[in-house]
A and B are shown apart, each in its own frame.
Chain A
Amino acid sequence: MTIIHERPSNPAAGDEDRPIGYGRIQRKEDPRFVRGKGNYLDDIVLPGMLHGAILRAPVAHARLVSIDTTNALAHPKVLAVITGKDLLGLKLAWAPTLSADVQAVLVTDKVRFQGQEVAFVVAEDRYAARDALELIDVEYDVLPPVIDARKALDADAPVIRDEIEGKTDNHIFDWEIGDKAETEAVFASADVVVSQEMVYPRVHPAPMETCGAIADFDAVDGKLTLYETTQAPHAHRTLFAIVAGIPEHKIRVVSPDIGGGFGNKVGIYPGYILAVVGSIVTGKPVKWVEDRSENLMSTSFARDYIMQGEIAATRDGKILAVRTNVLADHGAFNATAQPTKNPAGFFSIFTGSYDLKAAYCSVTGVYTNKAPGGVAYACSFRVTEAVYLVERMVDILARKLEMDPAELRLKNFIKPEQFPYANKTGWVYDSGNYEPAMRLSMQLAGYDELRREQREKRERGELMGIGISFFTETVGAGPRKHFDIVGLGMADGAELRVHPTGRAVVRLSVQSQGQGHETTFAQIVAEELGIPPEDIDVVHGDTDQTPFGLGTYGSRSTPVSGGAVALVARKVREKAKLIAAAMLETRPEDLEWEKGRWFVKGDPGAGKTISEIAMAAHGTMTLPEGVDGNLDAEITYDPPNLTFPFGAYICVVDIDPGTGHVKVRRFIAVDDCGTRINPMIIEGQVHGGLTDGVGMALMEIIEFDADGNCLGGSFMDYLIPTAMEVPDWETGFTITPSPHHPIGAKGIGESATVGSPPAIVNAVVDALAPYGVVHMDMPCTPARVWAAMQGRARPPI
């Protein structure tokens, strides 16, 4: 089913008739934020709290010769200085990463990237802590670094992880998927084959709020309360139990309001562990909050994929196969946040939205002397890289075949009747109807008119480009049998309580970083039970108050926790039915549900509202056999499959031929995320993601010089887009519900970040066609665009 129009809903809340359930309502959390009443980590002040600061390595690769902390300890406000040696004694010098590797908490033997943690100072205030860093004397013996991933596996490359026994190279993993021989055969017999190397450079999620933690260890009862900027509080609790050896029931992780995450706040950073150590050592709460440069230089980056892409097709434009070989730069430690069995994340969705005969990819991961990470920045576990690869390749093929890129895509889409569609790399796409989305996007853009305008402009020497990207995402992990993070299955719990007066509280394991959970999840309960969203409190972020689950990333909150919430509400509804039947002195099977109320079939006057039932459940009436005295339920939802949102994006750019400056003039985004719970929140997610896309396509990159100095360590050098660089977004949608999801919803949080960069780059390359440009890598800065115009397009790394 595909719906192109939506039921009407209120454009603004505050109306008397705002929807009880799905629809456009203002976000419940916003009054708090717009009034400055949010409670972010750095707003939290505990009695007697101390402050930590981290000394970081100035070089990328160096043996640690000595650390002298005498002068720092002599600072009148300093209480402790912790070094790697101290941590060795506590068995905390190395911590497990989310990818079966270990990461140094503090350097003990060797610095492996610039900005790595070397020592931790705890002082009475953060000024003193920062000043004392300069009083620590460290001697380094500088080593040659490995910066270019292409050279990481050279025989003479310095070995970065020489602490791993027997390690003689910088190799992390090889991984492949698809049928290699079958793909080779298809390529061998294809009319047309095109190939292209493309680099998705290292970028950074750069959330507005940097990372931080406050650790409060109570030595008397052994309880650790840990406030953290985390997207996954429950996973962190379990990991802390494993890492720090504190029993899990003695750990409470609180994730307060989060100022943006984008995957940057999934992992456990050394600073978090150091705050805990600091609190244990001093017996006081210790706050550590990193500054902007620390965030950009040391926390989880994203991408850094060097991809060799190939596409095979018939002469008349039937795409047959896609093949790719990837070199993945994971930095100094393999700390990517991803499901255990997927070392390249969900990159194997590079088959895109097309019905292929064969597909194959191989990925090699390597260590370099750079900060660790790789899966972040709203990438849906590397779907960004995959979509970029296939959507660039399809455009390159269109150029080769002299076909319109929209027409080529339309010709090759998986057809609606082929869903559920098993692709060639093991995914089963749940539902899709691609052509209407593509056509709607073309219609909103005025595609034919744009092409006409472009022809006219080309004759005048003006550079205008039209870029298309059609993406299929794979989001919402579990199922737990396939997907886990360090052994924790990716299923989510939910608890719902309806209070005697009919107001409710729903408790979630996922944690919002700005996605509007307090509204969306209230709306799901509202839709299922008919309780107005404002009467439903959404509790999240505190492990003592919420059920277990894996957290918010990979666009999984609605696909997984959204399913959990719908099902727990239905459980309550079923319980309410039993109680209503007792109240109405009839049999449950004689009752019928309408939103908010059970009534007797054929006698609509005889019914009981959820409020009445809630009061009865907590009251004095005799409840039916087996029904206990409340209107509560809990559930853990293990999704049967992922969901596969998709979208059709069209970008129009103008390029100044004299300077190479790119202006994004228009951007049309048609998204299909299945059932739309709150269209306003969906649009907000899309707007944000499109802005990210402009950033990546045009300006963002974390570069390094040959010595391994990070050149993107501040917002002077790491540019993120402003309102001035982005056009008025033009959004549209189709609705193709997920057949397996309880409410038919798919994820939307990352669609636009995933889908927009190829649309923009395709537009830039299209604009530069008169110069014979077939490909250029991001970021399309003025200088790089100009170089491409001179026939000298270079990879950025």
Chain B
Amino acid sequence: MQIPAPFDYVRATSVDNALELLSRHGAESRVIAGGHSLLPMMKLRLSRPEWLIDINDLYELDFILRDGDKLRIGALTRHTTLLESDEIAALFPIVRDAEAVIADPVVRNRGTIGGSLCQADPAEDLSTVCDVLGAEAVIRGPAGERILAMADFHRGPYETAVGQDEMLCEVRIPVRPRSGSAYEKVERRVGDWAVGAAGASVTLAADGTIADAAVGLTALGLDHTIAGAADLLRGQQPREELFVEAGRLAAAACDPVADQRGPIDYKRHLADELTRRVLRQACTRAAQTQEG
């Protein structure tokens, strides 16, 4: 049994209460959602919060809502809920692609989208998913609510724009017609963190050319989406040479580190290979929604 350092624990009763507790207990307090990132770090004593503020009773943060041209997802929505949602799978197939390869059912039953995004581990799959879908983060704090684009939300590995006395409450994803998306990950074993992964989202114009596109990489040393990918793809008919070109761009854009999952050259190759695959798949899916 791995034993964390001593800590105190309190269950929040509402978002306001959670925010109040965060302010009261200060710098050494942490929100705990699914606990599947925080608890392992505490057990290894890499993280030593003095207070855990449990937000698992905040059902108000556990929802999936269609609101005009946005899909709103509460921060406490579990991986399993995202995986099983047919509405999400129809609008954003990338989410089901990614969720199917995040950890295992035990972790997915507890882990949340809010926890994933706030953990901001470079290997977190949902960060890439939200990046390429152009999601926004709704953050609340003592000063009220603010809404940030993903590019502003993520500040680098393990760092986000969420302040110590703030909480991520919601993720909003724009719903665009004629769009398709896809995610593919290479892992050493089911449930392992990515050796490398790529996600893509594509919107087609009425004539079948690419109107907009975004490609992101997971665990390959790239924050946000690949700069230049959208410019390369926009206005073009989806075709293999284009995907190859985008793959090349991805390989050049990434900056992976060598570790037990693989050396740099392999990871760079994955950036290329997986980018081609997800773009191919995203375009196929976008074309299908166009037909449908």
Contact = CB atoms under 8 A, between A and B. Distances in A.
A522 B228 CA distance: 71
Contact of A127 (B3, B193, B270): B3
B1 A289 contact: yes
A783 B189 contact: no
Contact of A721 (B6, B44, B189, B266): B189
A131 B104 contact: no
Contacts of B192: 719
Contacts of B190: 722, 724-725
A658 interface: yes
B261 A783 contact: yes
Contact of A782 (B2, B104, B186): B186
A721 B191 CA distance: 10
A367 interface: no
Nearest to A714: B44
Nearest to B272: A658
Given A658-B273, A711-B260, A721-B189, 16 more contacts: A126-B1, A291-B3, A293-B2, A659-B274, A703-B260, A716-B193, A722-B104, A722-B190, A724-B189, A781-B188, A782-B195, A783-B263, A783-B266, A783-B267, A786-B269, A787-B266
A292 interface: yes
Give the top 9 A-B pairs by smallest Cβ distance, nearest first. A783-B262, A724-B190, A130-B3, A783-B266, A658-B273, A719-B189, A291-B2, A659-B186, A781-B188
B4 to A, nearest CB: 9
B277 A658 contact: yes
Interface in B42-71: 44
Nearest to B267: A783
Interface in A637-657: none
A449 interface: no
Nearest to B263: A783
Nearest to B273: A658
Interface in A711-733: 711, 714, 716-717, 719, 721-722, 724-725
Contacts of B277: 658
B10 interface: no
Contacts of B262: 781-783, 786
Interface string A350-390: 00000000000000000000000000000000000000000
Contacts of A699: 188-189
7 contacts: A658-B273, A659-B273, A698-B188, A703-B260, A717-B260, A721-B189, A722-B190
A131 B2 CA distance: 11
A292 B2 contact: yes
Interface residues of B, number: 27
A661 to B, nearest CB: 6
A716 B107 CA distance: 13
Given A782-B262, A787-B263, A719 B269 contact: no
A127 B5 CA distance: 8
B77 to A, nearest CB: 25
Interface of B: 1-3, 5-6, 40, 44, 104, 186, 188-193, 195, 260-263, 266-267, 269-270, 273-274, 277
A660 B186 CA distance: 9
**Chain B CB within 10 Å, residue with most, of A126, A289, A722:** A722
Contacts of A292: 2
A661 B186 contact: yes
Contacts of A127: 3, 6
A787 B258 CA distance: 13
Contacts of B195: 782-783
Nearest to B6: A131
Nearest to A781: B188
A781 B267 CA distance: 13
A721 B277 CA distance: 26
A783 B196 CA distance: 10
Contacts of A660: 266
Interface size class of A (residues with CB under 8 A): 20 to 34
Contacts of B193: 716
B187 to A, nearest CB: 8
B266 A786 contact: yes
Nearest to A701: B260
A786 B269 CA distance: 10
A658 B191 CA distance: 21
A663 to B, nearest CB: 11
A51 B44 CA distance: 19
Contacts of A126: 1, 3
A408 B287 CA distance: 53
Contacts of B266: 660, 782-783, 786-787
B249 to A, nearest CB: 17
Given A291-B1, A658-B273, A722-B104, A782 B260 contact: no
Nearest to B5: A131
Contacts of B186: 659, 661, 782
Contacts of B104: 722
A742 B193 CA distance: 51
A719 B6 contact: no
Contacts of B270: 659
A719 B195 CA distance: 13
A692 B189 CA distance: 14
Interface in A259-301: 289, 291-293
Contacts of A711: 260
A424 B3 CA distance: 53
Contact of A725 (B3, B189, B269): B189
A156 to B, nearest CB: 28
Contacts of A781: 188, 261-262
Nearest to A723: B190
A660 B195 CA distance: 12
A41 B193 CA distance: 33
A54 B263 CA distance: 35
A719 B186 CA distance: 15
Contacts of B263: 783, 787
Interface in A488-524: none
A134 B3 CA distance: 12
Interface in A600-618: none
Contacts of A719: 188-189, 192
Contacts of B260: 703, 711, 717
A716 B260 CA distance: 11
Nearest to A705: B260
B230 to A, nearest CB: 24
A659 B187 CA distance: 10
B273 A782 contact: no
A725 B1 CA distance: 27
A699 B187 CA distance: 11
B210 to A, nearest CB: 23
A263 B68 CA distance: 62
A291 B4 CA distance: 12
Contacts of B2: 291-293
A711 B258 CA distance: 13
Contacts of A717: 260
**Chain A CB within 10 Å, residue with most, of B5, B104, B266:** B266
Nearest to B43: A291
A32 to B, nearest CB: 23
A174 B186 CA distance: 43
A127 B269 CA distance: 46
A116 B186 CA distance: 35
A659 B270 CA distance: 7
Nearest to A695: B189
Nearest to B104: A722
B41 to A, nearest CB: 11
**Chain A CB within 10 Å, residue with most, of B104, B186, B195:** B186
B191 A722 contact: yes
A291 B192 CA distance: 21
A121 B146 CA distance: 50
A496 B133 CA distance: 71
A711 B261 CA distance: 11
B53 to A, nearest CB: 21
A313 to B, nearest CB: 36
A714 B260 CA distance: 13
A698 B190 CA distance: 12
